A and B are shown apart, each in its own frame.
Chain A
Amino acid sequence: MGEMIKPTTSQVIQTGQSGFATTKFNELLAWARKYSLFQYPFVTACCAMEFMSTASPRYDLARFGSEAPRFTPRQADVLWVVGTVSQRQAPILKRVFEQMTEPKWVIAFGTCASSGGFYDNYATLAGIDKVVPVDIYIPGCPPRPEAVLDGLMLLQDKIQRGDKTPGVVKPRHDPAENLVQLRRKTG
């Protein structure tokens, strides 16, 4: 994680001298991109409820710069795949992704988009990474809006660093940690 994949960019950073303007320009570009991510809400199922909550006044996606939904893939930066993608929907998802222009990122919002959820049956695609490359996985059924904001901030961090490896949003508190403490208290 964190390794530069494109050799030209990493070379520039390593030398650090003649590449000052280029590096700074890339940083500036990354800064501009990460704070103005236009969404394509590919909304299918129950996660839509939490997506609406995240876009609503209390959790407010807009303060991250990611407010404007663009319902045409040509004008969108981030493909938010919100909810279960069924086998029937998979070709449409692939087509929408292919129509998006570079640079583009994909967020798998929810467990069904990340791995199919508990719908492991004939009808469901077991994770959208089977058809499109995913940058951020946000597990949860549905994920809390705070987890969604964590995912968005993780994406913004990756954009700033130019990191293309996928990331998963971890829970803020590891539930097992409390369990261990509980055992220590009683045992």
Chain B
Amino acid sequence: MAQKLLDILIERFGDSVVLETHNHCGDETAVIDAAHWREVATFLRDDPRCKMNMLADLCGVDRFDAEPRFEVVAHLNSLHFAHRLRIKARIGDEDGEGALLDSLVPVWAGANWFERETYDMFGIKFEAHPDLRRILLYEEFEGYPLRKDYPAAKTQPLVPYREGPDVLDKLPPFGADEGMVFGRKHLDYVKEED
């Protein structure tokens, strides 16, 4: 059971499309070549052995050190067979440019908002998406906050702040080097601004 879906994928598409697979923690995972993203998704939805009729989740991960930089991770679910699969595609160069992937909206209608959120947080663009605009943040926001090099505390206020004695004095926000220093592997995601 553990390898079933991965075997079907490799048998159908071969090693040039299914780049890597693993089965850690019981989750079958396949890294798909970005150019065949929609083809693989359509196959998984329609093939009678897979029947992945629900897209449970679609999100991005910023791998920062690795090239290609971003990973788009989709979790698929089959209500018929109760099996699940994770497929990923790796895109984008180290500056975050060129992150373009086929949209899965023609395959599952629910991908619409998930892809908008991935665009909003990472700047990954989806081709043929009917309405790619920011969903969680406002239009005036510049930058993509979930990228590792976006400083967490950098606000972009829409309304100028009031001044005055009744404005509560609050401690300044965390700097990039504060909070949980010992536990982190990277402290240098954010480059020092001069």
Contact = CB atoms under 8 A, between A and B. Distances in A.
B135 to A, nearest CB: 11
A125 interface: yes
A91 B161 CA distance: 11
B141 to A, nearest CB: 8
Contact of A123 (B137, B162, B166): B137
Contacts of B2: none
Contacts of A150: none
A130 B162 contact: yes
A122 B168 CA distance: 19
Given A116-B170, A134-B166, A123 B159 contact: no
Interface in A65-98: 87-88, 90-91, 94
Interface in B142-184: 145, 150-159, 161-162, 164, 166-168, 170, 173-174
B155 A87 contact: yes
B158 A126 contact: no
Contact of A115 (B153, B155, B164, B170): B170
A140 interface: no
Contacts of B152: 121-122
B138 A126 contact: no
Contacts of A123: 137, 145, 155
Given A120-B174, A123-B145, A130 B150 contact: no
Interface residues on A, range: 20 to 34
A134 B164 CA distance: 12
A126 B156 contact: no
A88 B159 contact: no
Contacts of B167: 127, 129-130
A91 B158 contact: yes
Contacts of B155: 87, 121-124, 126
B157 A87 contact: yes
Contact of A133 (B153, B161, B166, B174): B166
A90 B159 contact: yes
Contacts of A134: 166
Contacts of B161: 130-131
A114 B170 CA distance: 10
Nearest to A168: B168
Contact of B158 (A87, A124, A129): A87
A152 B153 CA distance: 33
Contact of A131 (B138, B162, B168): B162
Contacts of A90: 157-159
Given A87-B158, A166-B166, 11 more contacts: A87-B156, A120-B173, A121-B152, A122-B150, A122-B153, A130-B161, A130-B162, A131-B162, A133-B164, A134-B166, A165-B166
Interface of A: 87-88, 90-91, 94, 114-116, 120-127, 129-134, 137, 165-166
Closest 6 CB pairs of A and B: A130-B161, A120-B173, A88-B138, A90-B159, A121-B152, A129-B167
